């Protein structure tokens, strides 16, 4: 194994009270892809900032290879002082870095480079920040929630880029599918300390649960041992005083260990207040359409949503998901067509912007300033008791909202929405900033909700686990509804991922097989930066992949390989098949680009 580029050992940090980090460790070698996971507030972002040299620990050892380059993606990038996105991204390059790499990434992430930083949306700012940290191809790449505010097309593209990178990669993310596809090792930050699993995130939850069970068993054994020692102390036969004092000292030590153990963090207890039952028909849309200027966002879309349906809306940013959602619930009039809402509808809506008054306290926000209690499912409940269900501490009742982390704000907004009686939940990006455990509970709540749910999300795993149908764009304002979750939608589209239709969803011209009148001649066109970059780099990637295939084929040709190591044989066979598929795709892409180049130059 290659020597580590980065090592953190015995890291300690406290802000008063219980230590945030208490002996945490982290290391990464070239090419490693590590998922850093843990509860909201466990210190993941702080540990990543310590690794980046942005925060100093109070104790512990830190080593970075002196020649290693480090790039850190913050949750909220600072772009002040830059005239354009291109200037911001290029400022992250070193003297020997390829400037075309910056242009390629900007274009691949759906930006032009001419945008002014002050006018960017949250998603566009995140794309620009990703381009800046990835452009130099650093030795160590530290990513804090890289998928936040990104659409599915961009997330799928980012997965491919990170799978191919040779950088040592440490990432924090709430997106299960993203972590499963990219990570090859997992570090769990829990109660101030870290534990490492040398497998990707797909294996994490089973491993974590096993460790917690073993920990509970050890604690139980320690408790029983203490009981036996206390019984001996009271009733045992007196032996030599020196031996008795030693044994008494061991008993005190065991008691300290038993009392000093920090148990697992609490678990949220989510439930949604239920309104009166709605009519069987909840929403009926007939041939609705909406345009902004010359751009058609929705064209001729019809659907019937019935009580108990859970419908997911997916698509690239800017495709019109929120516009379609607003028309379906009656807050935006369509330009054409009609929307009919069912009887007895009570709507509770979660806006993805989650705008909060930073000076307002948690208790005041949850009760709307109406004292210290609220009514949930017809029962009066003290606000502190309700806060505990969402993992807030009693002393946080008078805490201003501005002091909350992103994950805590997400939980607070959910707590308020779910307290309101409703039979139609409208959730716009509900999974942003939530930790895995809270996501699990939200998933159970949504999948078991007796009313109806409309859900906008970029979390593919969450969609697969919750919705009964998916509405996705098909380009030029057309939307199609598919039965099942996100994976079912892909299967019905013939495996075509959303990025394949992102161009159409943004109403960019489609490539035409046959020439049409007034079409520019081929010679007037030119290769884009992205196409030039791919054309220059694909031959090297193809040669590298062929070399890897040759090595694996050599291993597979050993007749004793399977007998000695059946699991290893299966693993190598899977890697070989994956490389062959990748090679075929690269060769096809290179051939298409080469033909396009010849056509343009000819």
Residue 8 DSSP SS3: strand
Distance in Å from the first CA to the final CA of the chain: 49
Q: How far apart are CA 466 and CA 146, in angstroms?
A: 23
The answer to whether 122 is a known ligand-binding residue is no
The answer to whether 537 is a known ligand-binding residue is no
The answer to whether 40 is a known ligand-binding residue is yes
Backbone angles phi, psi at 361, to 5 degrees: -85, 160
The answer to whether 316 is a known ligand-binding residue is yes
Q: What is the pLDDT of residue 579?
A: 80
The answer to whether 505 is a known ligand-binding residue is no
- Total H helices, total E strands in the chain: 19, 20
The answer to whether the CB of 374 falls within 8 A of the CB of 419 is yes
Render pLDDT for 285-328 as a digit per residue (tens, 0 to 9): 999 999 988 889 999 999 999 999 999 999 887 788 989 999 99
Q: Give yes or no for residue 420 having a pLDDT over 90.
A: no
Q: From its phi and psi, is residue 81 left (phi > 0), alpha (psi between -120 and 50) or beta?
A: left
Q: How far apart are CA 81 and CA 88, in angstroms?
A: 9
Q: What is the pLDDT of residue 273?
A: 61
CA-to-CA separations, 394 to 134, 356, 360, 510, 579, in angstroms, rounded = 42, 20, 16, 57, 54
Q: What is the pLDDT of residue 223?
A: 67
β 168-172/140-144 pair status = parallel
Q: How far apart are CA 175 and CA 159, in angstroms?
A: 11
Q: Give yes or no for residue 267 having a pLDDT over 70.
A: no
Q: Give yes or no for residue 132 having a pLDDT over 80.
A: yes
Which two tokens mark 8?
A: 């953190």
Q: How far apart are CA 404 and CA 398, in angstroms?
A: 12
List, in order, residues 6 or more apart from 89 with CB less than 8 Å away. 102, 105, 106, 113, 128, 131, 132, 135
Q: What is the pLDDT of residue 372?
A: 85
Q: How far apart are CA 210 and CA 188, in angstroms?
A: 13
- Percent over 70 (pLDDT), the chain: 83
Q: Residue 258 — very low, low, confident or very high, per pLDDT cuts 50/70/90?
A: low
The answer to whether 275 is a known ligand-binding residue is no
Which residues, listed in sequence order, are joined to residue 12 by a DSSP beta bridge? 22, 59
Which two tokens mark 573?
A: 């066979």
Q: Which residue would you say has higher pLDDT here, 514 or 572?
A: 572
The answer to whether 148 is a known ligand-binding residue is no
Render pLDDT for 554-571 as a digit per residue (tens, 0 to 9): 787 776 776 677 777 778
Burial (Cβ within 10 Å: 0-12, 13-18, ≥19) of residue 282: buried
Q: What is the pLDDT of residue 246?
A: 61
Residue 459 DSSP SS3: coil
Q: How far apart are CA 522 and CA 334, in angstroms?
A: 40
Between helices 529-556 and 566-601, what is the axis angle to 10°? 150
Mean pLDDT of the chain: 82
Q: Which residue would you say has higher pLDDT here, 150 or 318?
A: 150
Which two tokens mark 194?
A: 């870290």
Q: Where are the beta strands (DSSP E) in 372-436?
A: 373-376, 379-382, 424-428
Which residues, listed in sequence order, are joined to residue 6 by a DSSP beta bridge? 28, 64
The answer to whether 41 is a known ligand-binding residue is yes
Which residues, listed in sequence order, are joined to residue 384 by a DSSP beta bridge? none
**Burial letters 174-195, b for 16+ CB under 10 A, else e:** bbbbbbbbbbebbbbbbbbebe
The answer to whether the CB of 446 falls within 8 A of the CB of 418 is no
The answer to whether 266 is a known ligand-binding residue is no
Burial (Cβ within 10 Å: 0-12, 13-18, ≥19) of residue 150: buried
Q: Which residue would you say has higher pLDDT here, 409 or 423?
A: 423
The answer to whether 317 is a known ligand-binding residue is yes
CA-to-CA separations, 241 to 65, 95, 225, 228, 312, in angstroms, rounded = 56, 74, 21, 19, 73
Q: What is the pLDDT of residue 512?
A: 38
For residue 48, the tally of other CB atoms under 10 A from its CB is 23
The answer to whether 154 is a known ligand-binding residue is no
The answer to whether the CB of 29 falls within 8 A of the CB of 3 is yes
The answer to whether 318 is a known ligand-binding residue is yes
The answer to whether 44 is a known ligand-binding residue is yes
Distance of CA 105 to the CA centre of its chain: 20
The answer to whether 113 is a known ligand-binding residue is no
Residue 368 DSSP SS3: coil
Residues listed for the chain: 602
* Residue-wise DSSP of 477-537: TEEEEEESSHHHHHHHTTS--GGGGHHHHTTPPPP-SS--TTPPPGGG----HHHHHHHHH
The answer to whether 547 is a known ligand-binding residue is no
The answer to whether 166 is a known ligand-binding residue is no
Q: How far apart are CA 460 and CA 465, in angstroms?
A: 9
């Amino acid at each position: 194994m290659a020597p580590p580029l980065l090592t953190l050992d015995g890291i300690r940090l406290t802000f008063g009270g219980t230590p945030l980090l208490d002996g945490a460790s982290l290391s990464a070698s070239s090419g490693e892809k590590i998922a850093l996971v843990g509860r909201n507030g466990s210190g993941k972002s702080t540990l990543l900032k310590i690794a980046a040299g942005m925060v100093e620990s109070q104790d512990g050892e830190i080593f970075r290879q002196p020649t290693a380059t480090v790039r850190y993606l913050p949750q909220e990038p600072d772009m002040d002082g830059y005239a354009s996105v291109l200037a911001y991204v290029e400022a992250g390059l070193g003297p020997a870095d390829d400037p075309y790499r910056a242009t390629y990434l900007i274009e691949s992430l759906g930006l032009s480079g001419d945008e002014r930083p002050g006018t960017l949306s949250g998603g566009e700012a995140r794309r620009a920040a990703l381009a800046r940290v990835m452009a130099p191809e650093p030795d160590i790449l530290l990513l804090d929630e890289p998928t936040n505010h990104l659409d599915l097309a961009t997330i799928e593209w980012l997965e491919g880029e990170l799978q191919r990178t040779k950088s040592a990669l440490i990432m924090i993310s709430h997106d299960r599918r993203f972590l499963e596809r990219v990570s090859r090792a997992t570090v769990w930050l829990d109660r101030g300390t870290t534990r490492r699993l040398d497998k990707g995130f797909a294996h994490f939850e089973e491993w974590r649960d096993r460790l917690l069970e073993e920990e509970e068993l050890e604690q139980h054994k320690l408790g029983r041992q203490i009981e036996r020692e206390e019984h001996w102390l009271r009733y045992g036969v007196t032996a030599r005083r020196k031996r008795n004092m030693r044994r008494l000292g061991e008993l005190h030590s065991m008691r300290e260990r038993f009392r000093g153990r920090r148990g697992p963090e609490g678990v949220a207890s989510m439930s949604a207040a239920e309104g009166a039952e709605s009519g069987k028909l909840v929403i009926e849309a007939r041939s609705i359409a909406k345009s902004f200027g010359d751009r058609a966002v929705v064209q001729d879309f019809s659907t019937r949503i019935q009580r108990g349906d859970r419908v997911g809306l997916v698509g690239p940013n800017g495709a019109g998901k929120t516009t379609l959602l607003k028309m379906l619930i009656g807050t935006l009039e369509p330009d054409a067509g009609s929307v009919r809402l069912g009887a007895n509808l009570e709507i509770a809506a979660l806006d993805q912007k989650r705008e909060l008054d930073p000076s307002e306290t948690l208790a005041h926000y949850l009760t709307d300033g109406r004292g210290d209690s609220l009514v949930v499912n017809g029962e009066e409940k003290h606000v502190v008791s309700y806060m505990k269900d969402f993992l807030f501490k009693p002393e946080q009742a008078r805490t201003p909202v501005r002091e909350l982390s992103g994950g805590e704000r997400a939980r607070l907004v959910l707590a308020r929405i779910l307290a309101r009686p409703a039979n139609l939940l409208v959730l716009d990006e509900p999974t942003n900033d939530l930790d895995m455990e809270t996501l699990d509970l939200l998933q159970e709540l949504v999948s078991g909700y007796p009313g109806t749910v409309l859900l906008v999300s970029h979390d593919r795993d969450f969609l697969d686990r919750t919705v009964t149908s998916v509405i996705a764009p098909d380009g030029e304002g057309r939307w199609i509804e598919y039965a099942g979750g996100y994976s079912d939608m892909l299967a019905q589209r013939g495996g075509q991922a959303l990025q394949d239709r992102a161009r159409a969803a943004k109403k960019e011209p489609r490539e035409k097989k046959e020439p049409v009148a007034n079409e520019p001649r081929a010679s007037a066109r030119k290769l884009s930066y992205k196409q030039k970059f791919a054309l220059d780099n694909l031959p090297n990637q193809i040669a590298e992949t062929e070399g890897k295939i040759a090595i694996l084929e050599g291993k597979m040709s050993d007749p004793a390989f399977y007998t000695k190591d059946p699991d290893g044989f299966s693993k190598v066979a899977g890697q070989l098949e994956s490389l062959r598929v990748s090679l075929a795709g690269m060769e096809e892409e290179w051939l298409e680009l080469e033909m396009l180049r010849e056509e343009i130059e000819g």
